[in-house]
Structure 1
Amino acid sequence: MYARSTTIWARTASVDDGVANIRDTAMPAVLDMDGCIGLSMLVNREDGRCIVTTAWQTAEAMRASAEAAAALRERAHDLMGGDMTVDEWEIAVLHRDHRAGDGACARVTWLRVDPGQIDRMTGVFTDTVLPSLESFEGFCSASLLTDRSSGRCVGSVAYDSVDAMRRSRERADEVRAGVIRESGAERLDVSEFELAIAHLRVPELV
């Protein structure tokens, strides 16, 4: 399974319009594309960072969608403004305790390892991180996206509510520190988001 993520540093006043555009225009179009298995959107209303991720059954399906997806992406960018980056990933791990409902949030961690250590990172996430997360209050799901060429990894953990996510911060910091020690990873960024759209049909990948 594969994923394409588009990050837009939007004008904060345009975030709601951007969510509506993705939900009402982009998502129906993307879900009609061959091989698409879902879309999600994360929003940070404080800094305007919005991350739209589409999931695909194969790398070929993701590549075939590139032109049509680019047109939708430019439309959203014109509406929301700000800088934009696009990344493509392999979905290395996905574990879902239950589906996220209204008010769900997510904490996202960006890491980088030596590209030759991607499989090791995947093993650490599966064997160490997931068992810890399952005991967290309000835990919904977790995923790990990887880029074998650069060694970058993105771990995302969804919670039922903002309160549950906030209460998990100290324990999450401890788990993250352990992962960095065990995998030799470099921490790039950590941020918390509202899960504005959650429409993923990615099967369990553990």
Structure 2
Amino acid sequence: MHARSSHIHARSSAIDAGIAYIHDTVWPALTGLDGYIGLSLLVDRLSGRCIVTTAWQSEEAMIASRREADAMRDRAAQILGGSPTVDEWEIAALHREHHSTPGACVRVTWARVDSEQVDRAVDGYRLATIPALAELDGFCSCSLLVDRDSGFGVASATFDSLDAMRRSRAASDAIKAATVRDTGVEVIDECEFDLVLAHLRVPEMA
């Protein structure tokens, strides 16, 4: 399984129009493409950060979708008023306790590790991080996306509500510290988002 993420810093006044375009135009258009298995949209209205992620059954399907995706991304960026940063990933792990409901929020962590240590880091996420996250109140799901060549990765944890995500911060920080200690991962950035659209059909990969 693979995924493409488009990260845009939007004008606050343009976010609602961007959400409407992605919901009404991008999502239906992608649904007809071979190998497409879902889309999510994360928004942090305070900073204007928006992340659209699409999931694909294979790297070949993701690559084949580039022309259509590029055109829709350019239009979304025009509406949102920002320049997109695009990354393509392998979906290394995904665990879902239950599907999200309206009001869900997501904590996203960007990190890197030496490329030769990627397998070790993925194993650590599957064997230690996922079970620890699953114990948190209000936990919904989590995933890990990786670029094996560069060693970069992005981990996300979804919670049922903003309150649940906030209550999890201390425990999440402890889990993150253990991951850094055990795998040598370097945390680069972290941000919390509203889960605005959640239509991913990626199967369990824990």
1:131-151 residue CA offsets vs partner (Å, 9 max, x unmatched)? 111110110000000001110
1:201 aligns with 2:201: yes
Instruction: Determine the C-alpha separation between the residues in 1 that align with 2:16 and 2:171.
Output: 32
**Structure 2: which 5+ residue stretches go unaligned?**
none
**Structure 1: which 5+ residue stretches go unaligned?**
none
> Which residue of structure 1 aligns with residue 143 of structure 2?
143
1:71-95 residue CA offsets vs partner (Å, 9 max, x unmatched)? 0001101100123100000000000
TM-score computed with the length of structure 2 as normaliser: 0.99
1:13 aligns with 2:8: no
Instruction: Determine the C-alpha separation between the residues in 2 that align with 1:14 and 1:56.
Output: 28
1:1-206 correspondence runs (5 A) = 1-206=1-206
Instruction: Determine the C-alpha separation between the residues in 2 that align with 1:121 and 1:19.
Output: 34
Give the fraction of aligned pairs with identical amino acids, expressed as a percent: 54
1:153 aligns to what SS in structure 2?
strand
Q: CA deviation at 1:31?
A: 1.4
1:127 aligns to what SS in structure 2?
helix
1:13-34 residue CA offsets vs partner (Å, 9 max, x unmatched)? 1111111110110001011110
AA at the equivalent of 1:175: I
AA at the equivalent of 1:96: R
Instruction: Determine the C-alpha separation between the residues in 1 that align with 2:102 and 2:143.
Output: 19
AA at the equivalent of 1:147: D
Instruction: Determine the C-alpha separation between the residues in 1 that align with 2:68 and 2:135.
Output: 41
C-alpha root-mean-square deviation of aligned residues, in Å?
0.6
Instruction: Determine the C-alpha separation between the residues in 1 that align with 2:34 and 2:61.
Output: 7
Q: CA deviation at 1:185?
A: 1.0
AA at the equivalent of 2:129: V
1:150-184 residue CA offsets vs partner (Å, 9 max, x unmatched)? 10010000000000000000000000011011111
Q: Aligned residue pairs: how many?
A: 206
Instruction: Determine the C-alpha separation between the residues in 1 that align with 2:32 and 2:182.
Output: 41
